[in-house]
Amino acid sequence: MKLLRILSAATILASGVAAAQAADLTYEPAPVVPAAAPVGNWTGFYVGGSVGYAWGKTDQQDGDDGLITENPGDVKPDGFIAGLQLGGDYQFPSNVVIGALVDIYYSDAKDTFNYLDEYTTESKIRYFGTGRVRAGYAIDKFLPYLTGGFAWANNEINDSVYGSNSQTHFGWTAGVGVEYAFTQNWTLKAEYLYTDFGSKTYTFPDDNGSYDVGLKSQTATFGVNYRF
């Protein structure tokens, strides 16, 4: 009986010690793992505007005489440009992005050829535009891409002797660019294009001849887009 009392007392004492030790233990919550930043998705439509600079050359390819210049490339229009663009993209699970866009630009690119101080001929790209596809690879908020497609331009030639004539050229364009999404809806872009607008035949009020004139340009633009 005495032994039973001793065992009972020991059990009670051990339980009290265990409870006291448990009360002293502090439990810290498991650390919260931050969620990964969402990867940018380029699927959707957008509209925006761009400004930049254009430079190129106007070549007379044939004709009765050197109306533009007998030396190809002597007339090199250059100047500032500003325009609007509209397009759409689709991003695949592999992060490959395919899209299409159209744009139109007002242009102040022009140059004047002075022939022996006897007369002048000015060539001016008044406005131009493109219809293109683009393909790129999305790297989170960055989208580097290649682009190419159809291009057109309205060019005007003013001659101090023969008068003026304007023609709309049609050709092709190709280039590279990069776009950066600085918010969920707004992006910045930079782009370079080389464009061959092809040749057109020009005739003038005070001249019986006709002149096949080729037009090429390069452009560097910076713009902003709003994505829907």
For the chain, helix, strand, coil in percent to 5 are 10, 65, 25
Q: Quote the number of domains for the chain.
A: 1
pTM for the predicted model, two decimal places = 0.78
Q: Among 226, 215, 225, 210, which residue's Cα sits nearest to residue 128? A: 215
Evaluate whether residue 179 is within a structural domain: yes
Residue 119's contacts (CB-CB under 8 Å, 6 or more residues apart) are 159, 160, 161
CATH number, domain with residue 128: 2.40.160.20
**In this structure, how many other beta carbons lie within 10 angstroms of the beta carbon of residue 115?**
17
Residue 176 has a pLDDT of 98
Evaluate whether residue 24 is within a structural domain: no
The predicted-structure confidence for 172-215, as pLDDT tens digits, reads as follows 999 999 999 999 999 999 999 999 999 999 888 877 777 888 99
pLDDT of residue 62 exceeding 60, the answer is: no
The predicted-structure confidence for 75-87, as pLDDT tens digits, reads as follows 899 999 999 999 9
Evaluate whether residue 170 is within a structural domain: yes
Cα-Cα-Cα-Cα dihedral sign, residues 84, 55, 190, 195: positive
Evaluate whether residue 59 is within a structural domain: yes
Helix, strand or coil, per DSSP, at residue 4: helix
**In this structure, how many other beta carbons lie within 10 angstroms of the beta carbon of residue 74?**
18
**In this structure, how many other beta carbons lie within 10 angstroms of the beta carbon of residue 131?**
14
Evaluate whether residue 26 is within a structural domain: no
Beta bridge partners of 217: 56, 195
How many whole angstroms separate alpha carbon 107 and alpha carbon 153?
10
Residue 223's contacts (CB-CB under 8 Å, 6 or more residues apart) are 48, 49, 50, 51, 85, 188, 189, 190, 191
Residue range of the domain that includes 161: 44-227
Residue 75 has a pLDDT of 84
Identity of the residue numbered 68 = I
The predicted-structure confidence for 112-155, as pLDDT tens digits, reads as follows 888 777 778 889 999 999 999 999 999 999 999 999 999 999 99
Evaluate whether residue 38 is within a structural domain: no
How many whole angstroms separate alpha carbon 226 and alpha carbon 183?
10
Q: Among 211, 16, 189, which residue's Cα sits nearest to residue 87? A: 189
Evaluate whether residue 39 is within a structural domain: no
Q: Are 77 and 55 contacting, i.e. CB atoms less than 8 angstroms apart?
A: yes
Evaluate whether residue 177 is within a structural domain: yes
> pLDDT category, 17, cuts 50, 70, 90?
very low
